[in-house]
Amino acid sequence: MAKKKKISGYAAAGVDIDAGNKLVDLIKPIVSETFRTGVITDIGGFSGLFSLQSKSKTNNPVLVSSTDGVGTKLKIAFMMDKHDTIGIDLVGMCINDIVVQGAIPLFMLDYISMGKLEIEKAVDIIKGISKGCKDAKCSLIGGETAEMPGFYPDGEYDLAGFVVGLADNEQLIDGSEIAFGHKLIGISSSGLHSNGYSLVRKIFFEGLKMSVDDHVEDFGRTLGEELLEPTRIYARPITNLRRDFKISGISHITGGGLIDNIPRILPNSCKAVISSSSWTPHPIFQYLQKAGRIPAHEMMRTFNNGVGLVIVVGEVDCEDIIIQLQNLGEEAFIIGTVESRGSSEAPIQFID
């Protein structure tokens, strides 16, 4: 009879507690660079602490929260073995969702789970998260790194985040003040952001049999570099705009594209009329549409098509807003108008 193998201790089961402790020591100086006024704890404790006392000037404070991941874009990071930007995507996906409500980001928590803890890889991921948090002026005050043997294929992991922001209840942006004649300004995305990657991978890797190392002339870089371009974070430009202008609505263009996300902020009596020729999508979108033979409607419902955020404002402010966005390093363009919606009409309409 074969002799049974003796299992002794947690490490023998595949979980290295010492590696986890080492990771915490390594990331402390990285994470501490994100701390803003209000952080009253260090990482490594049982929880993160953030004081709202410094935000006491808010008359009627409301906490605004969001949680998200980066979907199958993770597969591109695995294929390239490049992990220092995927954390930026995580921050963008979470923070952009609270910025559209008029919230100022306060703090974020992250969750990383791996089959086997690879310290160097985890540090790279957290470097990206910290970079995104610094861009958004948001503190990374804690998180969880879970080692789960046998749960993930070798070299793979999952990533999720949770963010909390602060808004004044009287200044929340909920779309209720959107009216006929308002204009829609699109703010350029950095590319695909973190949506549509299941279809992207199917087209490039299954249909076209391409590799992440293939150089694509249309992109001016390799396919992998294009697909791993980080999500744009809009906290800074929106915070700046709100100091000077009245913004009646903001839509984060994520899963569902323009077709599903713009109607989320419109009153029932309104429809958005979008001129599809008012901006030029990035080459990646044009390449995908042609290679995958994707209908225009499907493109507009799957991808951001070059528009990462849409703001709804009065016509009188449009020119000044676009100039200010350009001064902040953003590309912006008027993409449509808010019009009256009939009872049988769709909430969004595209014209050439």
Residue 112 has pLDDT above 70, yes or no: yes
Tokens of 25: 């020591």
What stretches of the chain adopt beta strand conformation (E)? Answer: 61-69, 104-114, 139-147, 157-168, 183-188, 215-216, 221-222, 247-252, 270-275, 307-313, 332-340, 348-351
Predicted pLDDT of residue 44: 78
The amino acid occupying position 312 is: V
- Local confidence band at 4 (pLDDT 50, 70, 90 cut-offs): low
Q: CA Rg, the chain, in Å?
A: 22
Check residues 289 and 11 and name the one with the higher pLDDT.
Answer: 289
* Assessment of whether the complete model's pTM goes beyond 0.85: yes
Give Cα separations from 318 to 233, 245, 267 (angstroms). 21, 10, 21
Predicted pLDDT of residue 13: 57
Residue 16 has pLDDT above 80, yes or no: no
pLDDT digits (tens, 9 = 90+) for 315-343: 999 999 999 999 999 999 999 999 999 99
Predicted pLDDT of residue 237: 97
What stretches of 92-134 adopt beta strand conformation (E)? Answer: 104-114
Coil/strand/helix, residue 262:
helix
What is residue 141's DSSP assignment?
E
Question: For the residues 3-19, what does the mean pLDDT come to?
Answer: 61
The amino acid occupying position 67 is: T
- Local confidence band at 159 (pLDDT 50, 70, 90 cut-offs): very high
The residue to which tokens 């660079």 are assigned: 33
Residues 76 and 197 sit within 8 Å (Cβ to Cβ)? yes
Q: Show the domains of the chain with their CATH numbers.
A: 14-171 (3.30.1330.10), 183-351 (3.90.650.10)
Give Cα separations from 321 to 99, 104, 203, 251, 271 (angstroms). 17, 20, 37, 16, 22
Phi and psi angles of residue 11, each rounded to the nearest 5 degrees, phi first? -60, -35
Tokens of 328: 């902040």
Predicted pLDDT of residue 281: 97
Instruction: Return mean pLDDT, the chain.
Output: 93
pLDDT digits (tens, 9 = 90+) for 121-136: 999 999 999 999 999 9
Predicted pLDDT of residue 46: 84
Check residues 5 and 231 and name the one with the higher pLDDT.
Answer: 231
